[in-house]
Amino acid sequence: MTTPEPAAAVEPVESSELSAEETAEELAVDPDPGKIAYTTTDFDVDGLVRRLGRKDILIPTFGDEESGDEVDQLIETARFQRPFVWTRAQMDRFIESLLLGYPIPGIFLVQQTDRSYLVLDGQQRLRTLAAFIDGMVNKKEFSLQYVADRFKGLTYKSMNPEQRRMLENTFIQATIVQPDGSVASLDAVYQVFERLNAGGTQLTPHEIRIALYAGELVEWLTKLNASEEWRGLYGARPRHLRDQELILRVIALVVAPGTYKRPLKKFLNDFMAAHRHLEDLDCSDLEGRFKRAAQLVVDGPGVQSIRPSGTAVNAALTEAAIVGLMRALEAREVVPEEAVKGMAILLADTELPGVIERATADEDSVRKRIALATRAFAR
């Protein structure tokens, strides 16, 4: 096997903002959004922090590639949250707001089957509370700095009884979403989170998806995403797990091509729900063909062939090429020279630009580019 080109040589230029395709998917309308049950209740700060300590309330760390974490093992719909991103000024002012009796936003929780709660929205407020009461933040003493003079230097231990009661007895409203475990209710939770997802650190549909449909399929996608063949093709890891979502698109279109309908996010959600625990997937065969297809592009036409406009990976073109090669590999062995010829045929097709550059999630665009790639590599 030829050694893949170093990732650094083909590092894609990735924006922290959503791409045009991701923005379009964010705005795509679900044709039949479901309903979900929820309740509201108030928790005092002291009760919230104690529940966090007992793991009755769970805050997963979003996007951790490692598996087997003690907390993640307790979470049925793991990975909703990003890593902690508040600045010290935001943390200090949140505590100050509580001491001043200012109103603060509520939190959203998802009730799990064991009656524990998963944080859907509000992790930064809860982490700040836990850190302040614990007395440490970033391995340093948590003393207030970015606050009014009368609070500067204040720690939890140095608070007077009145201040401590003011903090611990403050009530925070919680909206508790109660899914019943069905696909429809999980889809409704997805809808809820998507509508909450409007802050400065915006999540993509895929980041929400892997939180909601955590399970063996997500772990398998994580494994494929770390494979030598795929990293050699894709290059450096991008923001927003775009590389992992692209693998999911490929696998879903190989396994269930005839079921594709817009919006893309719902198609992928439904696939994840149907195969969450790898039901009806021949993972060994799919993994072998996926890795071989990625390596064929590296060894044949090269990594630049999926970057027609420069250094960024064209997701629609890559999706089509890998699906086309995986279909060809199902029928016969393919050598790099054939991959070179097939990619040349695909890139020369006058219909290709229209289905990899604009409205790439449209049903006609998806079917057309998959058909073009299938024919190109079948020759």
Last residue of a domain, one of 144, 178, 212: 178
Query: Residue 319: beta bridge partners?
Result: none
Count CB neighbours of 150 within 10 A: 9
Kindly state whether residue 2 falls inside one of the protein's structural domains: no
Kindly state whether residue 191 falls inside one of the protein's structural domains: no
Kindly state whether residue 186 falls inside one of the protein's structural domains: no
Q: What is the pLDDT of residue 20?
A: 65
Tokens of 175: 């909206």
What lies within 8 Å, CB to CB, of 113 at 6+ separation is 76, 181
Confidence of residue 37 (pLDDT cuts 50, 70, 90): confident
For residue 65, is pLDDT > 80? no
b/e per residue 301-334 (b: at least 16 CB within 10 A): bbbebbbeeeebbbbbbbbbbbbbbbbbbeeeeb
Residue of 240, 238, 180, 185 whose CA lies nearest to 208: 240
| 355 plus 270 within the same structural domain | yes
Helices (H), the chain: 20-27, 45-54, 88-100, 123-134, 161-168, 183-196, 205-212, 216-225, 228-234, 242-255, 264-274, 283-299, 315-331, 336-348, 353-356, 363-378
| 174 plus 238 within the same structural domain | no
Tokens of 167: 């903090």
Q: What is the pLDDT of residue 94?
A: 97
Residue of 297, 340, 298 whose CA lies nearest to 6: 298
Count how many domains the chain has: 2
| 110 plus 254 within the same structural domain | no
If you average pLDDT over residues 137-151, what whole number do you get?
94
For residue 369, is pLDDT > 70? yes
| 231 plus 367 within the same structural domain | yes
Residue-wise pLDDT for 104-118, tens only, equals: 999 999 888 788 898
| 103 plus 230 within the same structural domain | no
Kindly state whether residue 190 falls inside one of the protein's structural domains: no
Contact status, residue 177 vs residue 36, Cβ threshold 8 Å? yes
The percentage of the chain sitting over the pLDDT mark of 90, rounded to a whole number, equals: 62
| 171 plus 233 within the same structural domain | no
- Token pair 């070179």 is at which residue? 340
| 277 plus 370 within the same structural domain | yes
If you average pLDDT over residues 357-364, what whole number do you get?
92
Q: What is the pLDDT of residue 84?
A: 53
Kindly state whether residue 196 falls inside one of the protein's structural domains: no
| 374 plus 232 within the same structural domain | yes
| 19 plus 46 within the same structural domain | no
Task: Please tell me the distance from the alpha carbon of residue 131 to that of residue 136, in angstroms, as a whole number.
Answer: 6
| 237 plus 374 within the same structural domain | yes
Contact status, residue 180 vs residue 64, Cβ threshold 8 Å? no
Q: What is the pLDDT of residue 46?
A: 96
Kindly state whether residue 129 falls inside one of the protein's structural domains: yes
If you average pLDDT over residues 41-65, what whole number do you get?
83
If you average pLDDT over residues 73-89, what whole number do you get?
57
Last residue of a domain, one of 113, 145, 178: 178
Kindly state whether residue 122 falls inside one of the protein's structural domains: yes
Range of the domain at 167: 37-178
End-to-end distance of the chain based on CA atoms, in angstroms? 23
| 23 plus 44 within the same structural domain | no
Least confident of 4-13, 59-68, 369-378: 4-13
Residue of 287, 254, 248 whose CA lies nearest to 370: 254
Kindly state whether residue 194 falls inside one of the protein's structural domains: no
| 25 plus 60 within the same structural domain | no
